[in-house]
Chains A and B, each alone.
Chain A
Amino acid sequence: MMEQKNYRAILYLLPALLFLAVFLVYPLADVFIYSFEEGFNFASQVYHGIGLHNYRYVLRDPYFIQALRNTLCLVAITVPLSTGFALLISVALSSLPTLQGLFRTIFFLPYVTNTLAVGMVFLVIFGRTPYSDGLMNALLSVVGLGPVDFIDGPYAAKMFVLCFYTIWVVLPFKILILTTALASVDKQLYNAARIDGTSRARIFWRITLPMISPMLFYLIITGFIGAFKAYSDAVAIFGTSLNNAGMNTLVGYVYDMLYGDSGGYPSYASAAAILLFLIILTITVINLLISKRLSYHTGGSVR
Chain B
Amino acid sequence: MKKLVSVLTWILLIVWALLVLFPFYWMLLTSFKSYGAYNAEFIPRFIMTDPTLDNYREAFQGVPLLKYLWNTLFFTLCTTALMMIISVLAAFAFARLRFPGSDLLFLLLLSLMMIPAELVVITTFVTLTDLGLRNSFPGLILPSVASVFYIYLLKENFEQIPDSLYYAAKVDGTSDLKYLLRVLCPMCRPTLMTITILKIIECWNAYIWPRLITDDPRYYLVSNGIQELRENGFGRENIPAMMAALVVVSLPLIILFLVFRDRIMEGVARGGLKG
**A residues neighboring B (CB under 8 Å):** 5-6, 8-10, 12-13, 15-17, 19-20, 23-28, 30-31, 34, 42, 45, 88-89, 92-93, 95-96, 103-118, 120-125, 129-132, 134-135, 138, 168, 173, 176-177, 180, 200, 218, 222-223, 225-226, 229, 231-232, 235, 239-240, 251, 254-255, 258-259, 266, 269-270, 273-274, 276-277, 280
Is there an interface contact between A258 and B97, defined as CB atoms closer than 8 Å?
Answer: no
Is there an interface contact between A5 and B123, defined as CB atoms closer than 8 Å?
Answer: no
Cα of A23 to Cα of B213 in the assembled complex, Å: 14
Query: Chain B interface mostly helix, strand, loop or mixed?
Result: helix
**Which residue of A8, A23, A113 contacts B250 across the interface (Cβ within 8 Å)?**
A113
Residue on B nearest A270 in the bound complex, by CB:
B122
Residues in chain B near residue A42, CB distance under 8 A: 126
Is there an interface contact between B143 and A129, defined as CB atoms closer than 8 Å?
Answer: no
Is B107's beta carbon under 8 Å from chain A?
no
**Which residue of A10, A23, A31 contacts B142 across the interface (Cβ within 8 Å)?**
A23
Residues in chain B near residue A132, CB distance under 8 A: 41-44
Residues in chain A near residue B126, CB distance under 8 A: 30, 34, 42, 266
Is B169's beta carbon under 8 Å from chain A?
no
Give B228-271 interface residues, CB cut-off 8 Å to A. 230-231, 239, 242-243, 246, 249-250, 253-254, 256-258, 261, 264-265, 268-269
**Which residue of B13, B100, B142 contacts A89 across the interface (Cβ within 8 Å)?**
B13
Cα of A115 to Cα of B249 in the assembled complex, Å: 11
Is there an interface contact between A124 and B19, defined as CB atoms closer than 8 Å?
Answer: no
Known contacts A5-B99, A92-B12, A131-B40, A124 near B21 by CB under 8 Å: no
Residues in chain A near residue B92, CB distance under 8 A: 12
Is there an interface contact between B93 and A12, defined as CB atoms closer than 8 Å?
Answer: yes
List, sorted by A's number, 21 A–B pairs whose CB atoms are closer than 8 Å.
Answer: A12-B92, A16-B87, A17-B90, A19-B146, A20-B109, A20-B112, A27-B120, A92-B13, A104-B265, A106-B21, A109-B257, A113-B253, A117-B27, A117-B223, A129-B41, A235-B227, A240-B227, A254-B122, A258-B122, A258-B212, A266-B125
Cα of A177 to Cα of B267 in the assembled complex, Å: 11
Q: What's the nearest-Cβ distance from chain A to residue B10, in Å?
A: 8
Residues in chain B near residue A88, CB distance under 8 A: 12
Residues in chain A near residue B105, CB distance under 8 A: 13
Is there an interface contact between B102 and A9, defined as CB atoms closer than 8 Å?
Answer: yes
Is there an interface contact between B261 and A108, defined as CB atoms closer than 8 Å?
Answer: yes
Give B38-93 interface residues, CB cut-off 8 Å to A. 38-44, 85-87, 89-90, 92-93
Q: What's the nearest-Cβ distance from chain A to residue B246, in Å?
A: 5
Is there an interface contact between B115 and A28, defined as CB atoms closer than 8 Å?
Answer: yes
Cα of A8 to Cα of B102 in the assembled complex, Å: 13
Is B137's beta carbon under 8 Å from chain A?
no
Is there an interface contact between B207 and A20, defined as CB atoms closer than 8 Å?
Answer: no
Q: What's the nearest-Cβ distance from chain A to residue B232, in Å?
A: 11
**Which residue of A114, A131, A135 contacts B204 across the interface (Cβ within 8 Å)?**
A114
**Which residue of A23, A34, A135, A232 contacts B26 across the interface (Cβ within 8 Å)?**
A135
**Which residue of B13, B98, B148, B254 contacts A9 across the interface (Cβ within 8 Å)?**
B98
The total of Cβ contacts below 8 Å across the A-B interface reads: 253
Residues in chain A near residue B16, CB distance under 8 A: 89, 107
Residues in chain A near residue B13, CB distance under 8 A: 89, 92-93, 96, 103
Is there an interface contact between A6 and B89, defined as CB atoms closer than 8 Å?
Answer: no
Is B145's beta carbon under 8 Å from chain A?
yes
Give B20-37 interface residues, CB cut-off 8 Å to A. 20-21, 23-24, 26-27, 30
Residue on B nearest A10 in the bound complex, by CB:
B99
Is there an interface contact between A13 and B90, defined as CB atoms closer than 8 Å?
Answer: yes
Cα of A114 to Cα of B242 in the assembled complex, Å: 14
Known contacts A8-B176, A27-B127, A28-B119, A89 near B12 by CB under 8 Å: yes
Residues in chain B near residue A28, CB distance under 8 A: 115, 119-120, 123
Is there an interface contact between B43 and A16, defined as CB atoms closer than 8 Å?
Answer: no
Is there an interface contact between A109 and B230, defined as CB atoms closer than 8 Å?
Answer: no
Known contacts A116-B207, A129-B38, A280 near B116 by CB under 8 Å: yes
Residue on B nearest A183 in the bound complex, by CB:
B269
Cα of A271 to Cα of B146 in the assembled complex, Å: 25
Is there an interface contact between B249 and A112, defined as CB atoms closer than 8 Å?
Answer: no
Is there an interface contact between A120 and B242, defined as CB atoms closer than 8 Å?
Answer: yes
Closest 8 CB pairs of A and B: A16-B90, A9-B97, A12-B93, A30-B123, A19-B146, A27-B123, A226-B275, A222-B275
Is there an interface contact between B254 and A113, defined as CB atoms closer than 8 Å?
Answer: yes
Cα of A255 to Cα of B109 in the assembled complex, Å: 27
Known contacts A12-B89, A266-B123, A116 near B9 by CB under 8 Å: no
Residue on A nearest B215 in the bound complex, by CB:
A259
